[in-house]
């Protein structure tokens, strides 16, 4: 099975991916690493693309990695903000049976109420160079991801109250276990 964890910046995608790796022993790929590899190797030409543009520029390459994992029956987690909400269009019906996707976003209320916590925990899993947290950008990014999820019927988890690692992890696990959840969103 392949698990895609997408969504806005600083929501805990990498942390949840690491928790899944610890629990299940699956392989994991960070799309931040793929983006950096493209930029440093000069194999592609990402140029000065925004994160939104990078999402669509990188996606055909990422989709082929996912397809290879599905066809090889490998368990893989792919995490990052470079997964488009319409990701499912890249796969056949048969391939989709082995892919689960969840996007994680934060409500504007949560971001405004917990910006100091977001800043404090931003380096918890990995050290990010030049990581400047811009509240307006976080609000816009989360809002756009949620709107995209609603348009494309992609499952999302919205953090609205207090951030709780275990509740978030349990919610992601429930999406992984349920191939066709009745609800298309959870608010924590």
Which value, in Å, is the radius of gyration of the alpha carbons in the chain? 16
* Pick from 18-22, 122-126, 143-147: least confident: 122-126
Which pLDDT value is given to residue 116? 79
Q: Which is nearest to 75 in space by CA: 96, 98, 94?
A: 98
Q: What is the pLDDT of residues 90-118, one digit of tens each?
A: 999 999 999 999 999 999 999 999 887 77
Which pLDDT value is given to residue 127? 58
How many angstroms separate the Cα of 92 from the Cα of each of 3, 61, 70, 88? 16, 16, 11, 8
- 55: DSSP letter: H
Bridge-partner residues for 6, per DSSP?
A: 103
* Pick from 31-35, 95-99, 126-130, 163-167: least confident: 126-130
- 5 vs 36, more confident: 5
Which pLDDT value is given to residue 131? 60
Q: Is the pLDDT of residue 74 over 90?
A: yes
Confidence of residue 47 (pLDDT cuts 50, 70, 90): low
The CATH number of 2-187 is: 3.40.50.300
Describe the crossing of helices 135-152 and 108-121 by its angle, rounded to 10 degrees.
120
């Amino acid at each position: 099975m392949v698990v895609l964890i997408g969504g806005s910046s600083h929501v805990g995608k990498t942390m949840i991916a690491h928790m899944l790796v610890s629990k299940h022993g699956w392989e994991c790929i960070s799309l931040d690493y793929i983006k950096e590899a493209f930029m440093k190797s000069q194999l592609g030409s990402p140029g000065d693309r925004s994160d939104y543009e990078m999402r669509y520029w990188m996606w055909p390459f990422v989709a082929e990695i996912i397809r290879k994992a599905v066809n090889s029956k490998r368990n893989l987690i792919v995490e990052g903000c470079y997964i488009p909400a319409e990701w499912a269009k890249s796969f056949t019906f048969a391939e989709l049976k082995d892919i689960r996707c969840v996007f994680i976003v934060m409500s504007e209320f949560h971001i405004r109420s917990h910006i100091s916590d977001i800043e404090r925990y931003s380096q918890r899993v990995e050290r990010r160079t030049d990581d400047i947290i811009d509240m307006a950008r976080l609000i816009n990014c989360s809002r756009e991801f949620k709107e995209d999820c609603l348009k494309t019927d992609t499952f999302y988890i919205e953090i609205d109250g207090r951030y709780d690692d275990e509740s978030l992890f349990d919610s992601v696990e429930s999406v992984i276990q349920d191939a066709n959840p009745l609800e298309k969103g959870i608010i924590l």
